[in-house]
Amino acid sequence: MHVVPDTSVVIDGRVSATIDDGQFEGATISVPEAVVAELEAQANDGIDSGWDGLEELQRLADLADEGVIDLEYIGERPDAIERGHAAEGEIDALIRDLAEDLEATFLTSDVVQAEVAKAKGLDVEHVSPEVRTVGTLTVENYFDDQTMSVHLKTDTVPMAKRGELGEMRYEQIADDRLDEATMDEYAREVVDGAKESPEGFIELSEPGMKIVQFRDYRIAIGRPPFADGIEITAVRPIAQTDIEDYEKADELKDRLLERQRGVLISGAPGAGKSTFAQAVARYISEHDYAVKTMEKPRDLQVGPEITQYTELGGEMAKTADALLMVRPDYTIYDEVRKTDDFEVFADMRLAGVGMIGVVHATRPIDALQRLVGRVELGMIPQVVDTVVYIEAGEVNTVYDVKTEVKVPAGLTEEDLARPVIQVTNFETDEPEYEIYTFNRQVVTVPLKDEEGGPGTESGVDRIAKSEIEREIRSIARGYVDVELKSQNKAVVYVEENDISSVIGKGGGRITDVENRLGIDIDVRTHDENPNYGAGAGAGGSGGANQSGGGGQAAGQMVTPEITSRHVVVPVDGNHGETVEVQAGGEYLFTATVSRGGEIQVSRGSAIADELEQAIDRKEPITVVPS
C-alpha cells in the first residue's frame, strides 16, 4: 500500500499518529520532495510549523527503522518560482500529481486539498486536525492575582509587572536565569496550545514573531533574527470592572445611551484604558446596542455577544468596510495609533456608527490634538464629541467637544470671529481649551493658566507672540523681539535698517500685518528696548558678541550651512572644546568642535530641526564657550 502525505498532515503530526493507530502499518509512506522543501523554507524563516513538520519526518524515519513502515522520498524538489506560488496551489498540485502517478492513497488534513483530490479521482484519506484539551501553560504559573504581565528571555531571570492599576512595579520573580532550551520549550508549548485548543488562536505569524491569544492571555513570542534571543511576553488583564465602579459614571452612562457618539478613551500605558473600554462595551451591549470591536491583536475581555474583529486582508480599512455592512451601533476601536487608524475611525464615525477609540495620551487634551492634521479641523467635533482621560484606573477628566462660531478668547476684534472648537470640562461645564485657525496655523489655546504661577504668559499670549514674530521675521533681515503690552497691543523691536521694510510705504505693510492678526503693533529699534543686551533679547547687530547687562557669555556669530545630510556650523577657534550653540540668545544644544573647525548635526534629528527653524526665522546663531 502506498500513502502520499501532503504538507498539512505532516505539520499536524497526523501521519505518525495514523500509523500508531494501525491504519497504515506496513505501508510505504512516500514523502514528496516538495513537502520537504516547503518545511525547510518555513523552518529557515523561523516559522514553527516548519520545525513541527521536520520533527514529524524524524518520527517517520524512526518508525521505518523499527520496521513498522517503509519510507521513501519521491519527486523532484520544486524550483524557486514554484515555491513562490505555493499560496496559489502550485506545490499542492505537484503533490497530487505524484499521488496520482503512484496510484497511492492521498493523505491530507486540508479540506480544500481533499475536495480537489476527490474531484480528480484520487483515493483520499482526510484526517481532521487534532483538537485536544490543553491544560495550564507553564507561562501561566508565573502569574498571581496582581500580575499584569510576565517577561521571559533567554539568559535572563524572569520579570513581571505587578501591583494595582497605576502603581505597577517591574520586579524579579525568580532567581535562576532561563536557558535557550527552556525558552524554546515554553514557546513551542504556547504555539502548540493555541493550535490544538479551541480556547486559543494565533493572531499574528511572521518570521521571528508570533502573537498568540490563549484564554485570557496575549502572548508575544520573539525569536532571532527579529529578536536577539528567544523572548516571551505574556499579558493578562488583572481587573474586570463595571462602569458603575467609576466615579462620574452616571453622567457618562446617560451620555453614551443618549445617542451614538464619538469617544476617545485616553491615558498613559498601564492606566486602565482597555479595562474601562471593556466596562463601557459590556454596559452599552446590555442596553440593547449592537457592539463590535476592532483590535490588533484581539485582547479585550468581552462577552460572546460582542464579536471581536481584527485586520481583514492585513488592513483595518477593509475591516471597517465589512463592519459598515454589519451596521453595529457602537464599535470599540482598540489602539488608535497611526494616521490610517484615525482615518478609519473618522470614516466610520461620519458614516453614523458610534465609535469608541482607545488612545495613548499623557494629558487629556493630547488625545484630541492627535486628530489635528489627520482630520479636517471643522469635522473634529463630528468625529469626537467626548474625551475620557483615565489615570490610575479612575476616570480623571471628561471633556465635551463642540464647535461654536465666535471671537477666540483673548482676541477683541469682531471681524476675527471664526469657527472655534471648544473643549469643555464635562463636570464643571467650564471651557478649558479652544482650537482654531489663527493666521493659517491650527492652534490649541489653553484658557487657564496651566502652570499657575504669577506673571505666566497665557496660552493666547504665547500664540499671539509666536505669530507676530513669524510675520515680522518674514519681512525683517535681522533679529526680531516681541513684547506683548496687552491682549490687543504689542511692541516689535527690530534692527534700525529693518524699520522701513517692516513699516512699509505709508505704513501699509505693518497695517496689513495688524489686520491679519487683529493686534496693534508698535515698531521700534532694539536700542529702545529696555531689555536689550540681557537674556533672550541680546542679538542683532553685534549683540550676540557682547557681554550684556545680563552677564551673557561672549560668543561668535556664525552662519550655518545646510547640506543634503547635515547642518554644518563653522567655528573659528575652540577646536576640540565644548561649546553651546544658541539661536536668538536661546540655548539649543552643546557640542564639541571638530579639528576641522566645525560642528555637524545630522538632518532629521530634533536638534537639526530646531536649528533649521531658527535659520528660517533669521535668528542669529551664536557659538558660546561652555
For 478-532, what is each residue's pLDDT tens digit? 788 888 877 678 899 888 888 988 898 888 889 888 887 778 899 998 888 876 6
Query: In Å, how far are 462, 494, 498, 500, 502 from 506, measured between CA atoms?
Result: 29, 18, 15, 10, 11
Burial environment of residue 270 by CB neighbours within 10 A (0 to 12, 13 to 18, 19 or more): middle
pLDDT of residue 168: 79
CB 25 within 8 A of CB 68: yes
Third-level CATH fold of 459-528: GMP Synthetase; Chain A, domain 3 (3.30.300)
Q: pLDDT band for position 220 (50/70/90)?
A: very high
Average pLDDT over residues 567-591: 82
Question: Do 2-126 and 243-446 agree at the fold level?
Answer: yes
Average pLDDT over residues 220-236: 91
pLDDT tens digit sequence for 403-424: 998 888 766 666 678 889 999 9
pLDDT of residue 158: 96
pLDDT of residue 133: 63
pLDDT of residue 452: 42
Third-level CATH fold of 138-235: Beta-Lactamase (3.30.450)
pLDDT of residue 198: 79
Contacts of 486 (CB under 8 A, 6+ apart): none
Between residues 130 and 534, which one has the greater pLDDT? 130
Burial environment of residue 217 by CB neighbours within 10 A (0 to 12, 13 to 18, 19 or more): buried
Lowest mean pLDDT segment, chosen from 154-163, 382-391, 537-546: 537-546
Lowest mean pLDDT segment, chosen from 88-92, 264-268, 585-589: 88-92
pLDDT of residue 541: 36
Q: Which three cell numbers stand for residue 291?
A: 457592539
Peptide bond into 269 cis (omega under 30): no
pLDDT of residue 443: 81
Q: Which three cell numbers stand for residue 231?
A: 523572548
* Helices marked H in 239-315: 249-258, 273-286
Closest CA to 332 of 277, 394, 395: 277
pLDDT averaged over every residue in the chain = 84
Task: Give percent of the chain above pLDDT 90.
Answer: 32
pLDDT of residue 487: 66
Whether 552 has a pLDDT exceeding 50, the answer reads no
pLDDT of residue 329: 95
What is the C-alpha to C-alpha distance for residues 540 and 557, in angstroms, rounded to an integer? 10
The domain limits of the chain are 2-126, 138-235, 243-446, 459-528, 552-625
What is the C-alpha to C-alpha distance for residues 65 and 57, in angstroms, rounded to an integer? 12
Between residues 565 and 32, which one has the greater pLDDT? 32
The domain at 2-126 falls in which architecture?
Answer: 3-Layer(aba) Sandwich (3.40)
pLDDT of residue 132: 56
Whether 544 has a pLDDT exceeding 60, the answer reads no
Whether 166 has a pLDDT exceeding 80, the answer reads no
What is the C-alpha to C-alpha distance for residues 377 and 447, in angstroms, rounded to an integer? 19
Average pLDDT over residues 321-325: 92
What is the C-alpha to C-alpha distance for residues 15 and 345, in angstroms, rounded to an integer? 47
Between residues 179 and 471, which one has the greater pLDDT? 179
What is the C-alpha to C-alpha distance for residues 142 and 232, in angstroms, rounded to an integer? 12
pLDDT of residue 551: 35
pLDDT of residue 538: 37
Third-level CATH fold of 243-446: Rossmann fold (3.40.50)
What is the C-alpha to C-alpha distance for residues 68 and 62, in angstroms, rounded to an integer? 9
What is the C-alpha to C-alpha distance for residues 175 and 35, in angstroms, rounded to an integer? 43
